Structure 1
Amino acid sequence: MKILALNGSLRARSSNAAILRSALAATDATSAVADIAALPHFHPDLDTEGATPPAPVAALRRAAAEADAVLVVSPEYAHGVPGVLKNALDWLVSSAEFLDKPAAVLTASPSPTGAEYAHEQLRETLRMMSARVIPDACRNFGSIAPKTDPATGTVTDPATLQELRTAMAALRS
């Protein structure tokens, strides 16, 4: 199985990046992390039928088409999905790469509500894109940042690691 991962945080040492690295390490699937920072702003005029998409968009769509499953990891900004992640999903909406593809959403945010709003928005967006969101593979870690190893940038908390193993096993099934 090949998993395409999308990270809504561009910070290399963010807790969501640690969750993403640890989730991918918790499975024997191969994985690719999409470079969503390289995407241009979504522009419908660049995405018309027969148009050649910008190179970073074509690369994202190709990676999505080659993946067997999708993992979306994200913080929450202003009660919503970070713009860079929403932009990536907007580029994928009009294509069929997510059609019936298993998908998982993992979220964490230091806001008082955790990442509750972004978590639900992402699940709904993926369902609208015809992905098959796997409820048992989705987790909102709330407002508690997981303990991480500064050298590896991975989660060290045993309970969180177990949650990630469980979620990734559900995504694979």
Structure 2
Amino acid sequence: MSAPDSGVDPGLPVMTWERFRQLVEVLGGEAGIETCQGFEDACRRLAGILSREPVGQIIGFGERLAEALYRLDQAAFGTLPVLGTEAAVGAPFPQSDDGFLYSRAGVVAAGRQAYEGVFDRPERFAPYTALRCEELLYVHEEVFEQVTGTEWDRLTRYDYETCSNADGWPDLRK
């Protein structure tokens, strides 16, 4: 009897979740909540560490990040209004597609406990709706280009754009 198919391309660089989490810890957990500059500095620290990893691990970081963002791509989080913002008529202000992606990056940057905690209690995602942690999306790409001298032209296994996780948005299924 053969082992079940993991669905992972055997040629795809792998980074363990544990190593991914260790690298994310460099961001300082709540980086980005207080100031954008602090988060940018944290991303530079992460890039410095990631640049010393083998190229396969840089790619693997991008794969793990994409998977983490994909898992957060759910209606329970994406339909939450932006915290502290109201539309002109006083109604809650919805997240944009890009805003929701940057908020998901903020949850990942906040670390393992915050990341895992939102799945059991979606309301814990709410504080991240006001964050814009876009810089995290590009760290591995910039490091890859720095280390290899070539442009990042890869597609990750998981598409993390808003509404790409069909299981997370069941009402959007046809």
TM-score of the superposed pair, with normalisation by structure 2: 0.30
The higher relative CO (CA closer than 8 Å, separation ≥ 6) is in 2
Between Structure 1 and Structure 2, whose CA radius of gyration is higher? 2
Q: Would you tell me which structure has more strand in proportion to its own residues?
A: 1
